[in-house]
Amino acid sequence: MRLFLVEDDPDLGDALGRRLKQDGNAVDWEQDGEAANDILKYQKYDAIILDIELPSLDGIAVLRALRRRGDATSVLMLTARSKMDDRIDALDIGADDYLSKPFDVREFDARCRALLRRSAGVASSSINVGKVQFDGIAKLVHIDDMQITLPNREFRLLEILLGSIGRVVSKGQISEQLFDFDDEAGPNAIEVYVGRLRRKLGNALTIQTVRGMGYLTEVPKGQ
């Protein structure tokens, strides 16, 4: 998934960014509210983690502008403020959830996972497709009850493809969710990851290259 982290505290922002990337997400990090608002005018994300107290433009104003543009991207607000009014304002404007600082990183992880499930339109992190059992929280993949090991990028690629079973997903769509602004991904990077994933999945799933369009993932006939 591709996430946008807007947090002006350099230590906290770095720590949260690293944690999100460890889960295999592509993460863009911005520290200024006005700059974040400009980015959100043209760049789409799967979810946004947005601090309220930001320089130039606060998080409430960024969120308000986002919703006025008709952008329904899921948003988790971070705030050090203890006032209930701030939380109510954020939720009324269109925040999906909020988390008060200081917080336990395990709660942060859980709320981000819930946010991503909602944005993907699923209620659970577990997906069963044919012989493949995928658990996004435990980060486990089984084929016929046999666990297979996938590095973070391949794991997230599989998640993207499982979310588009029976539909073509373009390289551009995959790239937006797999890589962030700082990644130096060559033109053949996606093909490399898809090739590795195909080998590990064997005949559990078929990932077809649709020339000029992208990839089509299906359950083989007879399963």
Outline which parts of the chain fall under CATH 3.40.50.2300.
2-120
CA 189 to chain centre: 19
d(CA 44, CA 124): 23
pLDDT tens by residue, 65-81:
999 998 989 999 998 76
Within 10 angstroms of residue 52's Cβ, the number of other Cβ atoms is 24
Q: How would residue 102 be classed by pLDDT, with cut points 50, 70 and 90?
A: confident
Tell me which DSSP letter residue 46 carries: S
Cβ neighbors of 60 (< 8 A, separation 6 or more) are 52, 86, 89, 90, 93
CATH of domain 2-120: 3.40.50.2300
**How far apart are alpha carbons 190 and 70 in whole angstroms?**
31
Instruction: Answer with the residue of higher pLDDT: 187 or 127.
Output: 127
Sign of CA dihedral 67, 70, 73, 74: positive
* pLDDT over 90 (residue 184): no
In this prediction the pTM is: 0.66
- State the pLDDT at residue 16: 95
Is the alpha carbon torsion for 103, 81, 42, 30 positive or negative?
negative
* pLDDT band at 194; cut points 50, 70, 90: very high
- Where do the CATH 1.10.10.10 domains begin and end in the chain? 148-218
Helices (H), the chain: 10-22, 33-40, 59-68, 84-93, 105-120, 152-162, 171-178, 189-201
CATH number of 148-218: 1.10.10.10
